[in-house]
Amino acid sequence: MNGFDPLVSVEEVSRKFPLDHRDVTALDHASLEVSGGEFLAISGPSGSGKSTLLNLIGCIDKPTSGRIRIEGTDTGSLSPSRMTDLRRKKIGFVFQTFNLIPVFTAAENVEFPLLVQGLDARERRSRVAEALESVGLAERAHHRPDLLSGGERQRVAVARAIVHRPALVLADEPTANLDTRNATQLIDLMRELNRSLGLTFIFSTHDQRLLEHTPRIIRLTDGHVESDSAMEGDGHGQVFAARVS
């Protein structure tokens, strides 16, 4: 990949699902490009195709038609094992329900992706400590999820998503189960990681609290990309301009 290629390229992608002897279109000829280091929201009402698009970009699913490229690699051309390998190495996930393993401590939950990758113990410990420190939970490393608040659990989930140093972090409705205080803290945390580490974030949301802090918003309606707008200025105003392809 050269410096001018997008990190993510979605080209005329559609996804249909069978339902009651007919096909239901969840995503319809969607196209977009995401550069490295962006902080991007996919917004829209329930059923608009937000989660479907994230699952396709995250190599959890394959499109019915169209093409998705991650760092120039056509994900549709990959075998299941190579797709799994790309997902493990290049992509981190944050889910609205946290998806932490209840019997594991915070540190063990964060370490899990590194175990799957086969990193040695010393490297795992170093990366876990670094990730927990970056989300402000170094002192909670040995607490299980049931001893953590909702906001702390989601920060553990963020640490787990970034511990293997992915090219891309995908978050599905990350603030949906958080109160305003914890949602604001999570938004600030993700923005800081985006700025300080250059991490690329793509997340689905209809949470206005999150959208107010988002430099670029793609709005979906009935599986279509309705608009793609970018905030002008320094990111503190609310002046948006349509992006030109």
| Closest-CA residue to 168 (of 205, 202, 217) | 202
Judge whether 19 lies within some domain. yes
User: Which of the four pLDDT bands, split at 50, 70 and 90, describes residue 239?
Assistant: very low
Work out the average pLDDT over 127-152.
96
What pTM does this model have? 0.89
- Residue 28 in contact with residue 223, Cβ under 8 Å? yes
Q: What's the whole-number average pLDDT of the chain?
A: 90
Provide the number of structural domains found in the chain. Answer: 1
| Closest-CA residue to 172 (of 65, 76, 49) | 49
pLDDT of residue 4: 63
Work out the average pLDDT over 180-206.
92
Percentages (nearest 5) of helix, strand, coil residues in the chain? 35, 30, 35
User: Which of the four pLDDT bands, split at 50, 70 and 90, describes residue 209?
Assistant: confident
Judge whether 110 lies within some domain. yes
Quote the tokens at residue 28.
Answer: 């319809």
pLDDT of residue 238: 45
Q: What is the pLDDT of residues 86-96, one digit of tens each?
A: 999 999 999 88
- Which domain, by its residues, includes 169? 8-242
Q: Which residues contact 125 (CB under 8 A, 6 or more apart)?
A: none
Judge whether 2 lies within some domain. no
CB atoms within 10 A of CB 6: 17
Judge whether 223 lies within some domain. yes
Percent of the chain past pLDDT 90, that is, above it, reads: 78
Which letter, b or e, does each residue of 133-158 get, where b requires 16 or more Cβ atoms within 10 Å of its Cβ?
ebbebeebbeeebeebeebbbbbbbb
pLDDT of residue 245: 41
| Residues forming a β-bridge with 169 | 92, 201
CATH number, residue 160: 3.40.50.300
Judge whether 178 lies within some domain. yes
Judge whether 3 lies within some domain. no
